[in-house]
Amino acid sequence: MNTLSIRDVRTILTAPEGIDLVVVKVETNEPSIYGLGCATFTQRSLAVQTAVDAYLKPFLIGKDPLCSEDIWQSAIVSAYWRNGPVLGNALSGVDMALWDIKGKVAGMPVYQLLGGKCREAAAVYRHADGKDKQAVLERVLALREEGYRYIRCQMGGYGGRGHVLHTPEGAQPGAYFDPAAYTRSVVRLFDFLRTHLGPDLELLHDTHERLMPVDALRLAKEMEPYHLFFLEDILPPEEIDWLRVIRNQCATPLALGELFNNPREWLPLVREQLIDYIRVHISQIGGLTPARKLAVLCESFGVKTAWHGPGDVSPIGHAANVHLDVASPNFGIQEWCGLSERLQEIFPGCPQVKDGYVYPNDQPGWGIDIDEAKALTHPCSHKLPQWTQARLPDGTAVRP
């Protein structure tokens, strides 16, 4: 084989389930060797596409794709300003693709390049939502029947639904919620669930950064009797200093990080052991290269991993999560949204779930491909989801 070099870099945008996904394909001078990476930033997919196609592509052409560390280090400062979500996702798509190439050249799955398996599969948690307590319970029971033992429980989506809202005339459109009513409903929900389910099933809840610090503290304390596996994203990044107060006053396990971009956001939380689980969005922080280093950092401080794994991550991103999961001694849990038949047709080789565990396949690289022709039949809409427009009852815009 000739010395490898990057011949082309391009983005593939697709939305098989109505969620805009961004995939980066890095091609080499060996036509059979190419890599795929996830660069999905659903709310700014066109910005990521431009960053890859107009800026990273000319930066990368001709480089050795096996030099992934040097490429990452030089690419992240190539714009001078860094640690933002658009460039982070763009770089992630490239970085994951280079690891895919590395695995294919070595003839090994990526987890072998990370030191090999610490476990055969990764335990996952699924989402159970419903319009009322009974509907949530029925969904939890159905998931338990399918073999899941870790279940995140919500009632009416982020911030809850069905609360009586007293809004002023002319209030702007948005995703309105009442923090006080939401907090009360969460406590009632978990009291109901524990009464019917007992103590053995691991239950989680995601506040999705919808609470002010004092309200977050109150909720964390009130949830102690229900022994959550963890309470997820209890504060937005702007309020993380309050974690010291919460940590000192309650024993509810905390997971945080899906909005993080800058290492300075997670470093104090890990170093001071203010969280139990780190759950960054791997494509947000720049790909596998920084994520594996973050996992090692967390291991030193007793913090476990729980990488972000929602529907707005491509199957390639989910595969990257799983490879890192099985190779990390301090793995905690993996969020899993489920991959539809349509997604699996477009992305052959997806990780498979059996009895509550997700398994990577043993093919070289990520072990996953993309059918570009089928992907193009599901174009992106580039519409902003309403849930990002959170508002209080009086119409005040708040930061989720």
Active site residues: 158, 208
CA distances from 355 to 129, 146, 148 (A): 20, 6, 6
Return the ∠ at Cα 390 (arms to 400 and 267), rounded to 5°: 5
Place of tokens 């429980």: 153
Which residues lie across from 277 on neighbouring strands?
Answer: 255, 304
Q: Which amino acid is at 86?
A: V
d(CA 190, CA 187): 5
By C-alpha distance, which of 11, 14, 89, 42 is closest to 380?
A: 14
Cβ atoms 65, 37 nearer than 8 A: no
Give the E-state strand segments of the chain in sequence order: 6-14, 21-28, 34-38, 122-128, 150-153, 175-176, 202-206, 230-232, 254-256, 277-278, 304-305, 334-335, 352-354, 357-359, 390-391
Cβ atoms 128, 140 nearer than 8 A: yes
What's the DSSP call for residue 21? E
d(CA 7, CA 65): 10
Q: Which amino acid is at 23?
A: V
Which residues lie across from 8 on neighbouring strands?
Answer: 27
Q: What phi, psi does 36 have (nearest 5°)?
A: -125, 140
